[in-house]
Structure 1
């Protein structure tokens, strides 16, 4: 008879430190927050910093038609697909070691991207950045949860972390334009070197050397299946501009993605000894709901940045510097929305705040859908930028707060991974679908006799309108499933009490095992 497999763990491991005990371990919370903010800024910055530089990259390296989005997708796919494994790696080797390794890998991939001579080399470097980001991103929220005590201090830290997350993408577009115009597109990669250096110095000083909280091997098969499913799915969607939706190639590719996804779920539920996704956590409403909302928001955000930057350059004739500067209102609006999100949530509750923020974002994208060849900057671009960005900033902070409320600190890394994976994978899938639809709309307009610029404008406007629809669907989900304010408060109190009891029980069990 074959040997029985050892039982799988049904609960997360005990943490190496007690949340809020930084005053006893000598950890300086301010430096920890600065460290995770620098890492998160770089991770989100590089999701959008290449957008303004895409035309220059395509011309310099000779990208084939329709292949340029892979500069964006290679990063998003590696990042989103490996996020959950990245969190497990941090548990296996320790947060400090994982953080330092991720920063070094990010810096190396960035330098290689700056020296790329072919499209394949550039896409490979972007994938390397995504792998490093998948290691760095889950650590940030986990370190906040174990460093800051429950209450006002943790709320302020989460607000700053969420603001950096929301504002990094907008800042990336601005910085990308400045670097591309004043220096060269390669500097959108080289600029990461000093950021990595600052991150390494802060990490050495702020993150203590701790023992890993897990033993054993990471769930490599789960990571391969999950990443493979996402990669095949996005590839199949991107190819629909050349192969119709009903073609054997498209149906076969999408079918393979579904099969890989089902195998991933089966492996995680039945066979993985230390699954990268403990599926039981998705029974919590806040976990699956926040992940769904951030997936839809991620699709809208990434597509919005991508198409608006192309519209400015390919239709309105902006140079890289002018296009980057055009995103200043978006940066300001995102920061403003992030700063007022906590107060709005405290006053009106999560459901009203999230619904209003998503509708505001949808309105901004719908306004973008009216861009034309003769649009002026103030009413055609700055206006919708402010409306959409304020909504995005509010939604990012409110959704993160909802997703982490009542979560056992030992599962903070898993929940952080789910939220980051949702945003990245949603953005990648959304960009693939919307790029295909935009190309189709452009071809229809060209067939009807429109000029090349007018046809491009029609395609981009079509993508903006669909993006507004996605955000509208997210608002509907928030109305239907986010609990009312009083219900959410009662659930949070009950969850907090339950988590505290479980933590004490598990802590006692761990100490007893250690004595034995």
Structure 2
């Protein structure tokens, strides 16, 4: 482990170590770089898929294991909270002990956690497995991005490599929804977790074969106090929101955890100004446009779960859709998102900058979310579900690439990895808090409805009322994000991105 990794040094230095007359040396090195990309792509697809593949299977898993509506959000939250809160730690660990070893440990751990969750016979084991998936995913994702950064140093190859990587990250969510439906309907909900073993075997064998050993020459120090403060603090915030379902907002189990979480996150922010080697340097957050982007990513991540989680239940339980049909139903939204993203990247952002684009996208997405509140038991997909889905997808397509681009522009080389990890962290933690909050509000709305209504259709109408409540709150989160974006972003066009920022944008 003492020798420096070939993947951690510039390509021109690698070339100097190979005699010019070595037969086939340049071709072999070029081939090696693309094999590295292939391995990283498989691992990235595994991580991205897992953010959505389980959503489609959730109703089936809930029926099989018998957990409550109030508990179901922990299947998603356990993964995203562990993943989001530990990403910065995973990135530092890769810098400290080496990218290859952290990558391989992440792959093996992710596979083992997937097997545990897939074999779960009760709610507790399933949640534990999902949390472990998030933990090992937080090791895997930053190590993979670091390997890609250090392997591709030629500008043209780098752009192509990160274009492929970005396409996988963008399309993975849609693929996950469809794959989750196919596996749940034709095999079992457990196969939405077991499928990770196939990806993991390919990624591990490839990683052992093509990745090079070694840690960076300049090792970063681990900010252990900062890691503990932010991880425990974020957990307490999400746990506090989740407890409002079983207890109430005035219970110490709710506001007590929320208060402790806020205090710990504040302490983390203070500690980052004192630590010699901060986990998240505050200079990354204090830039006005960058801070606006992080805020937008957190709020959009929270709001998005209103459509992914509750519309899944509506399509399957209220309209009687199969898991495969449900997965197919989300694809137009993903398509609209990708169309809008291309429009923003190629035309709008270079001309206008983020200030008019992001608020517009957030308001459009909020309008689409509010549109979903009119759904009832007689609604049809083509007339009532598809139009708001397209609106939501287009709005989010305006927001996400713009916010990611601005969040990583004008970042120095030493902070590029931290900024990239922070983008993922904001999305994951926003999604975790959003899932906990929306599920709590929806479950409370259903309980209140049933207390005031009786009859044969009361349970079905209570479910519709709970979904509508979640949609309204999602719309509110997105609208608030739009207003904040309007005032937080500076006007004008963005500065040109350097290579490090381009890499971070396609994370």
User: TM-score, normalization: structure 1?
Assistant: 0.85
Contact kept, 8 Å, 1:146 with 1:409, in 2: the verdict is no
The 5 Å alignment of 1:24-423 reads 26=29, 30-148=34-152, 154=158, 157-204=161-208, 207-215=211-219, 218-270=222-274, 272-344=275-347, 345-423=349-427
Residues 38, 386 of structure 1: alpha-carbon distance in 2 compared, 3 angstrom cutoff: farther
Residues 153, 480 of structure 1: alpha-carbon distance in 2 compared, 3 angstrom cutoff: farther
Three-state SS of the structure 2 residue aligned to 1:327 is helix
Q: Which residue of 2 aligns with 1:510?
A: none
Looking at structure 1, the residues matched to 398 and 305 of structure 2 have their Cα atoms a distance apart, in angstroms, of 17
Residues 412, 59 of structure 1: alpha-carbon distance in 2 compared, 3 angstrom cutoff: same
Q: Which residue of 1 aligns with 2:461?
A: 454
Structure 1, unmatched stretches of 5+, are: 1-14, 500-516
Three-state SS of the structure 1 residue aligned to 2:439 is helix
Contact kept, 8 Å, 1:80 with 1:420, in 2: the verdict is yes
Q: Does 1:435 align with 2:439?
A: yes
Looking at structure 2, the residues matched to 36 and 30 of structure 1 have their Cα atoms a distance apart, in angstroms, of 10
Residues 286, 32 of structure 1: alpha-carbon distance in 2 compared, 3 angstrom cutoff: farther
Three-state SS of the structure 2 residue aligned to 1:53 is helix
1:206 CA displacement? 5.1
User: How many pairs were matched up?
Assistant: 479
Residues 103, 233 of structure 1: alpha-carbon distance in 2 compared, 3 angstrom cutoff: same
Residues 232, 40 of structure 1: alpha-carbon distance in 2 compared, 3 angstrom cutoff: same
Contact kept, 8 Å, 1:137 with 1:420, in 2: the verdict is no
The 5 Å alignment of 1:18-29 reads 18=10, 26=29
Residues 396, 146 of structure 1: alpha-carbon distance in 2 compared, 3 angstrom cutoff: farther
Looking at structure 2, the residues matched to 397 and 231 of structure 1 have their Cα atoms a distance apart, in angstroms, of 28
Contact kept, 8 Å, 2:10 with 2:153, in 1: the verdict is no
Contact kept, 8 Å, 2:363 with 2:479, in 1: the verdict is yes
Q: CA-to-partner distance for each residue in 1:37-71, whole Å, 9 max, x for gaps?
A: 33332222111211121122122223245112111
1:452 CA displacement? 1.1
Contact kept, 8 Å, 1:366 with 1:464, in 2: the verdict is yes
Looking at structure 1, the residues matched to 246 and 471 of structure 2 have their Cα atoms a distance apart, in angstroms, of 22
Looking at structure 2, the residues matched to 31 and 358 of structure 1 have their Cα atoms a distance apart, in angstroms, of 39
1:216 CA displacement? 6.6
1:153 CA displacement? 5.8
Q: Which residue of 2 aligns with 1:465?
A: 472
Looking at structure 1, the residues matched to 416 and 13 of structure 2 have their Cα atoms a distance apart, in angstroms, of 16
Contact kept, 8 Å, 1:162 with 1:396, in 2: the verdict is no
Residues 255, 355 of structure 1: alpha-carbon distance in 2 compared, 3 angstrom cutoff: closer
Contact kept, 8 Å, 1:166 with 1:396, in 2: the verdict is no
Contact kept, 8 Å, 1:22 with 1:147, in 2: the verdict is no
Question: Does 406-415 or 161-170 show the bigger shift?
Answer: 161-170
Q: CA-to-partner distance for each residue in 1:371-417, whole Å, 9 max, x for gaps?
A: 11111011222222222223323432222221121212222221111
Residues 434, 48 of structure 1: alpha-carbon distance in 2 compared, 3 angstrom cutoff: same
Three-state SS of the structure 1 residue aligned to 2:56 is coil
Looking at structure 1, the residues matched to 487 and 156 of structure 2 have their Cα atoms a distance apart, in angstroms, of 29
Looking at structure 2, the residues matched to 372 and 256 of structure 1 have their Cα atoms a distance apart, in angstroms, of 40
Q: CA-to-partner distance for each residue in 1:449-497, whole Å, 9 max, x for gaps?
A: 26111111111012112212211222223222223234x33xx58xx69
User: TM-score, normalization: structure 2?
Assistant: 0.86
Contact kept, 8 Å, 1:336 with 1:390, in 2: the verdict is yes
Looking at structure 2, the residues matched to 192 and 338 of structure 1 have their Cα atoms a distance apart, in angstroms, of 28
Q: Structure 1 residue runs of 4+, over 6 Å off?
A: 19-25
Residues 217, 485 of structure 1: alpha-carbon distance in 2 compared, 3 angstrom cutoff: closer
Q: Which residue of 1 aligns with 2:22?
A: none
